[in-house]
Structure 1
Amino acid sequence: MSHRFTTSTSASAAPRWRASATALQLAAALVAQAPATALVGVGALALAPAAYAQRGPAVAQPQIDRLEVTSDADLAPGAELELRLFGTPRGNASVRISGAKPINVVLKESPAGSGEYVAYYTVKRADGLAVGQAVRATLRRGKLATVANYSVPAVAGAGTPPPAAGLRIDSFTAAPVTRLLPGTELVVTAQGMPRARGSFEIGGLASDIPMREVRPGVYEGRYTLRREDRITAASPVVASLRSGNQVVRANLAQPLVGDTTAPTVVNLAPRESERVPPGVVYVSGNFEDRRGTGVDPRSVRLALNGRDVTGDTQITAQSFSYRGQLPPGAYTAQLVARDGAGNELRRDWRFDVGAAPAVLDVQLTGPVGDVVDGRNPVVIRGRTAPGATVQARVTGLLQVAGPIGLEQELLNQTLTADGAGNFTVQFQPAGAPGSRYDVHVVSRRDGRSDEARLRLTQR
């Protein structure tokens, strides 16, 4: 897109931008030192070899290499003129056209330091532009200035030029940055048809930012973020190429921010190792990608025990949620996702579907008063969770003779509780009266355990 000035007397230093067709060349490119007959392009601009310098510090005299003027409708009212002056960088350029009412246009160097100064001007009926009128270009740098004189050329007929063939944008990329902070320079590059007029815009921030053709068919644009700018990694960026009355656009496919950190997932349900009731089960979570490009919903994949359930999962850039009837059993969930920069998230976790585990709560019942006679086997009855694995161990501190005692393991047995959770432990006492027997039972099921102890005395 091009920008134009809305006054016929002078141009603002911060011009407004608008769309316009690119141009039939009106004015020629002239080297300031060349004779007036050394024309390049269409038209009959004449250069008067007049230049002057104001007194000032000993700095280099600015030079004007050439002035190019193009139009989308010759000199007719409503036509848009594009003025490009090439010369010494980092100066202040202006052009004065001596029409019925003099036209003063200030050109802006774009990009800064390039030595290329650009402005756009829309012809008004009161301007009375005609062939042969004087055009004066001025380039100032410090207190020195150079002036080059031209004249408005004759043109080969008025009207809008025919559409350009092959107008296209082959690619549109941006140099990634680490943070979008004030002072950060954004650099974008478009490749397409040569000799078009390029521009780009940042959604909600700036539009019609010029792109310079740095090589045939390669256009480069720059924008430096200001303190008041509000921009995110997801802000749309669009490039435009114009030629004649045609325009093509391309969206920036890559993120502005160079994102190297993978997203994470939080608030998983069910949680790791959680047991949930059978029936309808929800498997869900939330994505986090702080200061990143955000999760691409199209990249999300969810599987349960290797079965892909992505098609039955609701997915957004912020979350995923699966709802399904899951039979009892152990499950492993596998989640895969990528952010806009291609960083991959992988997360696996386990959960169980089934009835809540039975309470283990081991209970032991021994002889009355916890006393044994030493002649008959001792029977101990226990109760725990149905099907639990029970480890029973009996040790005795046996009285042998007088005060002398002997510690001995009398039983070490593994058994399984029946469907009602009942089990029985039996051992034979082996000591004299006064011996002591310690019973230790551990019950295990579903990764949980419980235990109970019982102490018996022989009389």
Structure 2
Amino acid sequence: MKPSMHFSAAALACALLAGSPFVAGTAQAQRSSQTTQLRVTGFDVEQVDRIEPGAELNFTVWGTAGAVVLLQIDGGRRTVRLDEATPGRYQGSYIIGRSDRIGPESRVHANLRQNNRVATAMLGEALQVGWPVPGDTAAHAPEIQSVGVVREPGRGRADALRYTVRGTPGAQVSVQLRGSQSRNVVLDEVRAGEYVGTYVLPQGDWVDTEQPLVAQLRVGNRTVQSSVPNAYAGVNFRARRADNFASCQDCATVQAVNEVVVDGEGRVLGTVAGGVLGAVVGSQFGKGDGRTAAGVAGAVGGALLGREIQKRHNQRTQYEVIVRMNDGVQRSVVYAEPPAFRVGEQVRVVGDTLERYAR
């Protein structure tokens, strides 16, 4: 009978253990904790037309109910906490401040936390309408799609050029202006991927319409350029390059190139070395022969003669270029070294020097 009694007791113990409410609940909790995973099932933002101070970004996150959801925006100064509006749906907003550095391409991360577990997700769309998905390296590869230039009306007598470049959004874009002055014109992004800039040509300046128009687009440390030949073919300039010289206020034609001798005070003595001193002394005393001049010079103790000898000792050669401006006025420009200008050549007067007029 003992074996039989032992079997009955074991069977009773198993029956009691299987029917115990506490043990059953513990096992069920263990199975629930293993099957229930903390996760984010959805992440959305109401895109705005422009990222700027005062713009409100409204976010929605879907996921495990009963959790705490925090958002971190790249360039933002504070963390956003979303409220659980309905079980498993969390909502909140962020108003962009002046101290924020949030851009259309800023990434947004969501952290859904429950007890000691955390699930994370990244927003899969841009904050601004029309921008590519943040982190999409293929979309951010620098690309220039088109380059154009037109003459902008309403600028009076001056020529104003409006440049337009279309390409990768969120870039730094410029065009190279070639002509009387070489410069880079920086364009502003007026819409996603559309860059516009206007340059007003100062009076007398011109653009070399025969050169290709070069645009540059930079994203991060990557740069791409596009060279467009004949970009100015359809631009209706008020004064084209062929007519620029006649209308140029700073332009002139070389009339003469003279080699001159000046004394120590910079006064022109002439081009013939011999007789210069005699001419200077003679001019001091009017008419008379050499004996009269010598007598007078002796009477003044030779002081004047000494000064003239000193000036002659310090004399040097300069080069004077005489030009006739387009308005008929003559001007002279002095060089210490022989200039490379010829009579009849067209030049521009820039300050105290001359530049060849580029055709």
> Which interval holds the TM-score relative to the shorter structure?
0.3 to 0.5
TM-score by length of 1: 0.29
Query: In proportion to residue count, which structure has more strand?
Result: 1
